[in-house]
Amino acid sequence: MPLPAAIPGAPPGTVPRYGGMIKETVEGILNSKGYKRSKLETADFAVKIGGYVIPEIDVKEWGYSDYGEPDGHQWWESYPYSEIEIGSYVYGTLLIEIFDRSSKQMVWVAWVTGKRKFKPPDPVKIKKAISKMLTDFPNGESVTNPIRKSRNLKRLWSLIKR
């Protein structure tokens, strides 16, 4: 079950640091839904995990003051500018895509997006997000493949790289 070598926009080492935990979480949830991992050649569907991170800048203070103060002072009585205050954060997206292996068509997708400061991601929050993403994915016992109606998606799955 290979993972992508890097996530666009993420710091180097993000995939080795968090990829295993993400993969194990997805595996655990799919196992709990009745699916069993198999080789890609024999699987009914494949899971593709990916994501990206976009660094953003947030301007908190633009450097302008009010021009009509409530205390009666007018803008010309004081210097009307202050320093510009900026902050930074990252905006990230984690994707889980399910593909029918024989037709190579996507049959299910979920994603989560979030904004956070430049600090290491919280593994507990990542696991909760993945769990929420896969909540609506059907159980293995109850699904008929929408592409090949005669076959059941039951107990076969495989993870492939993005």
- Spatial contact of 91 and 53, defined as CB atoms under 8 Å apart: yes
- 5 φψ region: left (φ > 0), alpha (ψ -120 to 50), beta (else): alpha
Mean confidence (pLDDT) of the chain: 75
Task: With CA atoms as reference, report the closest residue to 27 among 134, 162, 136.
Answer: 134
Mean pLDDT of 79-84: 64
Render pLDDT for 42-69 as a digit per residue (tens, 0 to 9).
888 899 898 888 888 877 776 665 555 5
Render pLDDT for 119-149 as a digit per residue (tens, 0 to 9).
778 889 999 999 999 998 988 765 554 433 3
Q: What is the pLDDT of residue 55?
A: 82
Q: What is the pLDDT of residue 27?
A: 92
Q: What is the pLDDT of residue 132?
A: 93
- 34 φψ region: left (φ > 0), alpha (ψ -120 to 50), beta (else): left
Put simply, whether the predicted model's pTM sits higher than 0.75 gets the answer: no
Domain positions in the chain are: 14-57+89-160
